[in-house]
Structure 1
Amino acid sequence: MLGYAAIGDAVFFLPVLAGLRRMFPRSRVTFLANPSPVSLELIPASGLADDVELAQWEGVDERERRSVNAKLVEQGFDGILLSLSSPAHFFREALASASIRVGHCSRLVAPAALGAAARIGWLAKRALVTGEYSRRLLLDRKVWIEPGPENAVRRNLRLLEALGAGPAAGQPGPVLPIPEGARAFARIALADKPKHILVGVHLGFPENPYRKMWPAERFGAVCRRLRDEAGAEPFLVGGPEEARAVAAARAAAGWEIPSFAGRRRLVETFALIERCGAFLSNDTGLAKAAMALRVPTVTVWGPTDPAELGAWESAGHRDVRLGIGCSPCVRLGMPFARGGIDFRGCGHHRCLGSLGEEEVFRAALEAFRGR
């Protein structure tokens, strides 16, 4: 399994690993991904892979790329499953060595607003950016992604259909592993407070390349109102790169919102989220973790699509978005597009910039009160 170790991508892919275990109980399953808490903590804790191997493919030279592939070829895998986020061209020797090569391919459709010549250019560039040409050349069991939204969990489960499993609709969703030691930590860290008063909040990395983060100070204002008007006890989770966002949220809230951001292991963060009565977040991997943990979520959306990247089961989950005509735009455009849509510099960013505190607070209040 050639994966990509972002939290959300991994959550969406756990059902595939679980399905592989059910289909091939005596097979050796190896998960290869870039070094991250997902590959170092989540996958080992899940027990769904016999081995976890680490490889960095961003910014490495040709010699290192060949070395990674040589090690994979040497192991003699019968089948290789390529996640949508992993570059087929990087693993071309390894893929070519396996008799079964499964992965997604996309039927690309250019934005209708472009002229004929611009559409041709858009399609060519999009295929190069996403590695589509390499996928079509190297994969022998192609699972096609059609235009239009499809939830990532179901999209990934269709990979199992290519291996002979039943319909994806009948497969279970993600289940996150949480060691008992992590649960014990969360219970102590949150002082055994009852679930119904705790609201977890994930601000996200302010410099996220997809420009999908609602401002941290607005989250801080919502936290203040949840505490003052509803008696909730919000706390922050996240990574070490979010220190500036935490400071902005605290300043807007007017009090030191408790923060575990950058201070805990990933499985401990999952355990903290598990104890929440509601979880408020941007479109982040921890929002997907909360969904997998069956915690009611409120997710703020801008350029990305909740139908594709949000909850696979709608009950208990709320999406907050303005719904303006150009949103979601990420799948339509590319960074620094010429003759197309540049989702990182669209000129207004109204999808998040015009989303006010009141809309998010109301959704969070409903989730907190269990309505």
Structure 2
Amino acid sequence: MPINQRSMQNQKPLNIHPKRILVITLRYLGDTLLVTPLISSLKQAYADAEIDVLLPAANAGMLEGNPDIRKLIPLPSKPSLGQFLKLLFGICRSYDLAISTQAGDRPTLIARTAGKTAIGFVPDDPGKAWWKNRLLDRSLVFGVDYDHAVLENLRFCDVLNIEPCYRLKPPQCAEPPAQMPANPYVVLHIMPQWRYKQWHRDGWLDVMAYLNRSGYQLVLTGSGQPAELEGLRDLERQLAFPVTNMAGQLSLAQLAALIGQAALFIGPDTGITHLAAATGTETIALYGPTDPKKWAPWPCRYVGRTSPFASVGSKRIGNVYLLQGFSDRNCVPCQLEGCDRHRNSHSECLDRLPASLVIETIAEVLRQG
């Protein structure tokens, strides 16, 4: 049975046995993790194949220690024309199979150049897709009604006539962080990359006070970006109790190890919340404009051909409790960049998500967990 009824578009499945495979994923940090079920599916089907992944250099840590991958090929965030042409020349016809997991021009060109057989997504726009359809041996339309990112990637299993694997593989490190906090502790990832995905400061302060009263050590995580570090320091200054701030100090693999031993993780719509869910730790995800049906954290042991979450409503599936904000305008999820339509915008639905509801959910999760 196909992952998705749109998968094959009247195209016959390929009958190939590739020895060298290239997977191309050029979007954000969370997207890199969400492609790991496809990579596992390829390794399960072609056990002797060597699988390489071409990805943004900044995302390489998300695949550290992945046993299914032979090599990572990092691409600068804004490569010059010379760098891009050098990349294409270096990988030209080097792979039996190349898969573009995005519908953009650059990943399509890379797939066609690198692979003797090339497959990939194309946009749901004939004016933009026609030349990509001609370049690719098999193409899948990435439509406006797309499904969860994990399931979209697994549509390539139908193209190849192989069985899908549904579990995400978080990065793995040889050694855990040098100083692990004492149990029990809760990991809080407060700052998303963009403001429009951010929950309000007062809510975080109330949640932290509740967890402290409940006897949990609090561990703050984040990137090493100066603005994020200063935001967390400012939050700490408003607390009457100590917390452990590990922002900017850990690799992604070390962060996965830290979260994996926590009693609970709480975070907004960010790649690190996807990572937390993949570790198996109880995860509370605070969502606003983003559609959970398409982009919710994938529960650790969830296996299914439909998205674990609906577009509207808060719900628990497996180790993930998704809390959705709300608005009187019934506009959630809007799939837009906040109420002002830019990344530094506020989002009313998250501004109105009360701390009392989050605390009630925390109590329920910790009691059941």
TM-score (norm 1): 0.78
Per-residue Cα deviation, 1:267-326 (whole angstroms, up to 9, x for no partner): 111111001111100011111111111111111111112221113332232111224322
Match for 2:104 among 87, 91, 100? 87
- Matched with 1:103 is 120
Match for 1:176 among 170, 175, 178? 170
Q: Does 1:70 align with 2:89?
A: yes
Aligned equivalents of 2:122, 2:108: Cα separation in 1: 16
Task: Tell me the number of residue pairs that the alignment of Structure 1 and Structure 2 aligns.
Answer: 326
Aligned equivalents of 2:345, 2:337: Cα separation in 1: 14
Match for 1:282 among 256, 268, 281? 268
Q: Where do 4+ consecutive residues of structure 1 move more than 6 Å?
A: 345-348
The alpha-carbon deviation at position 239 of structure 1 amounts to 1.1
- Matched with 1:115 is none
- Matched with 2:216 is 232
Aligned equivalents of 1:4, 1:89: Cα separation in 2: 9
- Matched with 2:188 is 201
Aligned equivalents of 2:117, 2:101: Cα separation in 1: 14
- Matched with 1:51 is 71
Partner of 1:173, secondary structure, is coil
The alpha-carbon deviation at position 134 of structure 1 amounts to 6.3
Aligned equivalents of 2:111, 2:174: Cα separation in 1: 37
Partner of 1:19, secondary structure, is helix
Aligned equivalents of 1:248, 1:217: Cα separation in 2: 13
The alpha-carbon deviation at position 215 of structure 1 amounts to 3.2
Distance 1:33 1:97, change over 3 A: closer
- Matched with 2:325 is 322
- Matched with 2:207 is 222
Higher helix share: 1
Aligned equivalents of 1:342, 1:159: Cα separation in 2: 36
- Matched with 1:116 is none
Distance 1:244 1:356, change over 3 A: farther
Unmatched runs of 5 consecutive residues or more in structure 2: 1-22, 303-316
Unmatched runs of 5 consecutive residues or more in structure 1: 109-122, 336-340
Aligned equivalents of 1:94, 1:176: Cα separation in 2: 25
Partner of 1:29, secondary structure, is strand
Per-residue Cα deviation, 1:191-238 (whole angstroms, up to 9, x for no partner): 3x2xxx321111134x517x212134532331112212x222221112
Aligned equivalents of 2:239, 2:210: Cα separation in 1: 8
Aligned equivalents of 1:311, 1:348: Cα separation in 2: 22
Q: Is the Cα contact below 8 Å between 1:303 and 1:343 reproduced in 2? A: no
Aligned equivalents of 2:271, 2:343: Cα separation in 1: 23
Return the letter of the residue paired with 2:206.
A
Aligned equivalents of 1:178, 1:282: Cα separation in 2: 23
Return the letter of the residue paired with 1:352.
L
Q: Is the Cα contact below 8 Å between 1:222 and 1:360 reproduced in 2? A: yes
The alpha-carbon deviation at position 262 of structure 1 amounts to 0.2
Return the letter of the residue paired with 2:105.
A
The alpha-carbon deviation at position 258 of structure 1 amounts to 0.8
After superposition, the CA RMSD in angstroms is: 3.0
TM-score (norm 2): 0.78
Identity among equivalent pairs (%): 19
Partner of 2:140, secondary structure, is strand
Q: Does 1:251 align with 2:268?
A: no
- Matched with 2:47 is 25
Q: Is the Cα contact below 8 Å between 2:52 and 2:72 reproduced in 1? A: yes
Q: Does 1:35 align with 2:67?
A: no
Return the letter of the residue paired with 2:85.
R
Q: Is the Cα contact below 8 Å between 2:285 and 2:322 reproduced in 1? A: yes
Higher strand share: 2
Return the letter of the residue paired with 2:67.
G
Aligned equivalents of 1:87, 1:147: Cα separation in 2: 15
Aligned equivalents of 2:206, 2:366: Cα separation in 1: 16
Q: Is the Cα contact below 8 Å between 1:89 and 1:134 reproduced in 2? A: no
Per-residue Cα deviation, 1:97-136 (whole angstroms, up to 9, x for no partner): 533222223447xxxxxxxxxxxxxx98xx7xxxx67654
